[in-house]
Amino acid sequence: MHLSQMPLECGHSNPDLMMTSSPPPNERRAHHRLTLGTSAHLVFDSGETIEAECVDISVGGMLLRAKYAADEGEVLIVEVPTPTCGPPRPPLVARVEVRRCHNIGPELYEIGGAIVEIIG
């Protein structure tokens, strides 16, 4: 699913859902980001899943928070459910290449990655 197909208005449970209108002067990103703050899952070949939060997403990447220390260059499979309002849709499933991973709290990491493939 392309980000333009994700519904943006339908009584979201997250009142902070917003598209950034213009980047700050020092912003290096090529795409606008949609602030989500929604649940997500990291899915591994073994079948193991780790709960995460999708902080924001853009056409080119996403920012996640999880209790998982990812290695730079590691490719993760990330599932982000679609909003519960509106017609039922499958989750966004993407391969995300880790560009950075920083410890931000006890066993909590912020993972910034580039979307390299939309799987579903």
Report pLDDT digits (tens) over 1-38.
444 444 443 444 444 444 344 445 455 555 566 777 78
pLDDT at residue 6 in the model: 43
pLDDT category of residue 115 using cuts at 50, 70 and 90: very high
Q: What type of residue sits at position 23?
A: P
Report angle CA 115, 54, 56 to the nearest 5 degrees. 70
Report pLDDT digits (tens) over 47-96.
999 999 999 999 899 999 999 999 999 999 999 998 777 788 899 999 99
DSSP 53-68: EEEEEESSEEEEEES-
Q: What is the pTM of this model?
A: 0.72
Q: CA-CA distances (angstroms) from residue 22 to 18, 32, 98, 103, 114?
A: 12, 8, 25, 28, 20
pLDDT higher than 80, residue 106: yes
pLDDT at residue 56 in the model: 92
* Domain residue ranges in the chain: 33-118
pLDDT at residue 28 in the model: 58
16, 59, 14, 15: which is closest to 39 by C-alpha?
Answer: 14
CATH 1.10.10.10 fits 33-118, yes or no: no
| DSSP-derived 3-state class of residue 80 | strand
